[in-house]
Amino acid sequence: MNEEEFYRVYSKYLQRKYGEKVYKLPINLPVTCPNRDGCVGTGGCIFCGEVGAGFENLSNTISVREQLKKNMDYIRRRYNAHKFIAYFQNFTNTYTDIDTFKMYIQEAVVEDIVEISISTRPDCISDRYLKFLSDIKKNHKIEITVELGLQTVNYHTLEKVNRGHTLGEFLDSFIRIKKFGFEVCTHLILNLPWDNMTDVVENSKVLSALSVDSVKLHSLYVVKNTILEDMLINNEIKLISKDEYVKRVITFLEYLNKDIVVQRLIGRAPQDNTIFVNWNTSWWKIKDEIISKMHKKQTYQGIKCDYLNGKALNQFRK
Ligand code: SF4
């Protein structure tokens, strides 16, 4: 089955944008997160493990340039690749002083890097950092994408997961980033314990109304020694079933504007150190199930995206 019939596939989008297959190279910085070190919170989000998101990364004691070189050499040899994205993935990559941030980014400006993608929190975006990135884009012809962790638009749930920011900060950072002309990818978790299908639809509507460039969906996994683990063991929360997750992803896509690129339908999580990951099913099997159900239902991304630009006025169209 051709995935592109059902949603806007990220790899195809990159291929069209850059004229060939582009590979994302993860970079691991020795940074932490303001929601862990006491700046806006301690302990972090209730689901956050100590290694952050980048469990497949090289050590953060290796310089950015060296990490890139190692990964590039490997991917070049294996796939005959020519173009790459430097992906600052782990923790909050803009959470450092401006000079250190500049040094890290400049180290990523090397031949064959066509884009720099920076993962961060909405409360770690400021005009000063964006201006520097804008100069990099202009002077080196390198595209910039900022990946913003939002997880849900439901600000009550954000409080329960101890995010340390609300929807308001996300909106502020999004508007700021767009003023500099960068792409924004938004990360969401569609199965946070306090969210239901109404939240899933609202997530989709808000991202569509903002016209975010891309979205990355994760499924919640439970890491050992986290508050989330305690909550699960103490029956304070319930996790939804795989079938319900599949339903939520399909509904999310139906309401999502067809122009928004979808980077992922489900997260890839480490088996080690976790007590629950993807219903013990490979991520690609769940992805196949989503596509197969969409095929059966004869549905696709954007089929229900009829709520923008004055829905109530549609009746007066000739
Ligand atoms: S924002 Fe990211 S790195 Fe920070 S505590 Fe939450 S999940 Fe962990």
66 CA distance to ligand 1 middle (Å):
25
Give, in order, the Cα–Cα distances in Å from 305 to each of 23, 167, 252, 301.
31, 21, 10, 8
Q: How high is the pLDDT of residue 272? A: 82
Q: DSSP class of residue 146?
A: E
Q: How far is the CA of 32 from the centre of ligand 1 (A)?
A: 8
Question: pLDDT (tens digit, 9 = 90+) per residue, 166-189?
Answer: 999 999 999 999 999 999 999 999
Q: For a substitution probing ligand 1, which of 31, 51, 91 has the most ligand atoms within 8 Å of its CB?
A: 91
Does residue 57 have a pLDDT over 80?
no
For residue range 222-239, list pLDDT tens digits in order: 999 999 999 999 999 999
Helix runs in 19-123, H state only: 64-79, 98-107
CA-nearest residue, atom 3 of ligand 1 = 91
pLDDT tier at 52, thresholds 50, 70, 90: low
Which of 121, 145, 130, 278 has the alpha carbon at shortest distance from 214? 145
Q: Which residue would you say has higher pLDDT here, 237 or 32?
A: 237
CA atoms within 13 A on the CB side of 143: 15
Model pTM score: 0.95
Report the pLDDT value the prediction gives residue 270, as an integer from 0 to 100.
77
What is the pLDDT at residue 58? 78
Give residue-wise pLDDT tens across range 237-282: 999 999 999 999 999 999 999 999 999 999 987 778 999 999 999 9
Quickly state the pLDDT bin for 51 (edges 50, 70, 90). low
Is the CB of 124 within 6 Å of ligand 1? Answer: no
Q: Is 99 exposed, middle or buried (0-12, 13-18, 19+ CB in 10 A)?
A: exposed
CA atoms within 13 A of residue 277's CA, in its CB half-sphere: 14
Altogether, the residues listed in the chain come to a count of 318
User: What pLDDT is attached to residue 56?
Assistant: 59
**Ligand 1 contacts CB of residue 24 (under 6 A):** no
For the chain, the structural domain boundaries read 3-307
20: how many CB neighbours lie within 10 A of its CB? 12
Closest ligand 1 atom to 163 CA? 6
* Ligand 1 lined by 36 (C-beta under 6 Å): yes
Q: Measured between alpha carbons, how far is 98 from 19 in angstroms, rounded to an integer?
A: 34
149 lines ligand 1 (CB under 6 A): yes
Atom index in ligand 1 nearest the CA of residue 44 equals 5
33 lines ligand 1 (CB under 6 A): yes
Type of residue found at 54? G
| pLDDT in the model for residue 222 | 95
- pLDDT reported for residue 262: 98
Q: What are the pLDDT digits (tens) for 131-178?
A: 999 999 999 999 999 999 999 999 999 999 999 999 999 999 999 999
Q: Where are the beta strands (DSSP E) in the chain?
A: 22-27, 83-88, 113-120, 143-151, 183-189, 214-218, 222-223, 261-264, 274-276
Average pLDDT, the chain: 95
Q: Is 9 helix (H, G, I), strand (E, B) or coil?
A: strand
Please tell me the distance from the alpha carbon of residue 140 to that of residue 72, in angstroms, as a whole number: 19
First to last CA, the chain: 37
Which pLDDT score is estimated for 11?
A: 97
> According to CATH, what is the number of the domain 3-307?
3.20.20
84-109 tens-digit pLDDT: 999 999 889 999 999 999 999 999 99
Q: Tell me: pLDDT of 53 over 60.
A: no
Give the model's pLDDT for residue 317: 79
Pocket lining: 67 vs ligand 1, CB cutoff 6 Å: no
Task: Name the closest-CA residue to atom 7, ligand 1.
Answer: 48
